[in-house]
Amino acid sequence: MIAIIGILSALIIVGMNSTTEKARVAKSQVFANSLRNSLMNDLISEWKLDGNANDSWSGGNNGTWYGVGGGTNTTANYRPVAECVSGQCLNFDGTDDYVGIPHNSNLKLTTTITFSGWAYRSNWPTTAESRILSCTEGGGYGLYFTGAYFYILVRRNGSYAYAAYSLASVSSGWHYFLGTYDGRYTKAYIDGNQLGNIDDAGATYPMQYAFSNSLMIGAEPDSGSIPNAATYFNGLIDDVRVFNAAIPISEIQQNYFAGINKLFAKNQITQTDYQQRLAELSNNYAKE
């Protein structure tokens, strides 16, 4: 709890288009930070994208930024703090930009997983297919968009568990996208609000991988380390994480409630925002 309060006291959101957007991002960041603190012992890798594509948590899964013409670009595409959620972030042009993280068995999780990332677009939804995070060619997991929908996907039991969620009500700007799988349930979240879940009919299945492909931020691997050109993301991405655990709903919601109370007490969100988040928490409990 002390760690969460410390994060909240230092929370400054700048460069947002409106007070409403600042409040929305602040609330979503409370959820993201609550998740990170609750699952810290299960954090495999974290890419803050603060001037480089290194794994800022373990250092074991450093990425490489590939820009114009497939070459590397380590400066021009990192955006300043004022445009990002936390520190710097990366600008993807939707044409050939991506971060490639080489194959590593510790990213090929089989029993439980939570994977998340912040993404920004000036116009949600997007009709073109694009990926925040992807390790999905022939198996694995991913967060992506296509046809005006947000998808999470996890492969298990010989097929993909995936669901589409409309982006029609998602405003322009920054949003926090998350997928989680506990061996039975596959669940999707936007900004800390659970959208629904897929129940594998009471059975438990391990996740499956067909290739030793890399993990990518901003694109999908088309087998091995080559990106699928039809999946490049157009916009900003920040703070991508992979955890070796499913999201612990009750603990997250307890910490999130404390964080929202803190924001309200410091007048960083309105009473309407506060009541909306309490209603969303109650709705999330009802979906368990």
* 278 or 123, higher pLDDT: 123
Tell which residue, 150, 236, 127, 229, has the closest CA to residue 196.
150
Cβ(78)–Cβ(89) below 8 Å = yes
Cβ(16)–Cβ(1) below 8 Å = no
Tell which residue, 41, 46, 71, has the closest CA to residue 61.
46
Average of per-residue pLDDT across 242-251: 83
**Helix residue ranges, H only, 126-270:** 249-265
> Where exactly are the structural domains of the chain?
1-39+248-288, 53-247
Per-residue pLDDT reduced to its tens digit, 191-208: 988 887 788 877 888 888
What pLDDT sits at residue 208? 87
Per-residue pLDDT reduced to its tens digit, 121-140: 988 877 778 999 998 777 78
What pLDDT sits at residue 6? 29
Give percent helix, percent strand, percent coil of the chain, each to the nearest 5: 25, 35, 40
The answer, yes or no, to whether residue 17 has pLDDT greater than 70, is no
Cβ(285)–Cβ(253) below 8 Å = yes
What pLDDT sits at residue 42? 95
The structure tokens 């999707």 sit at: 188
CA 60 to each of CA 214, 220, 224: distance values in angstroms, whole numbers, following the listed order: 13, 21, 19
103: Cβ contacts below 8 Å, ≥ 6 apart: 212, 213, 214, 225
Distance separating alpha carbons of residues 187 and 42, to the nearest angstrom: 18
Q: Which CATH class is domain 53-247?
A: mainly beta
63: Cβ contacts below 8 Å, ≥ 6 apart: 47, 53, 54, 55, 99, 100, 101, 217
**How many C-beta neighbours within 10 Å does residue 172 have?**
12
Cβ(239)–Cβ(46) below 8 Å = yes
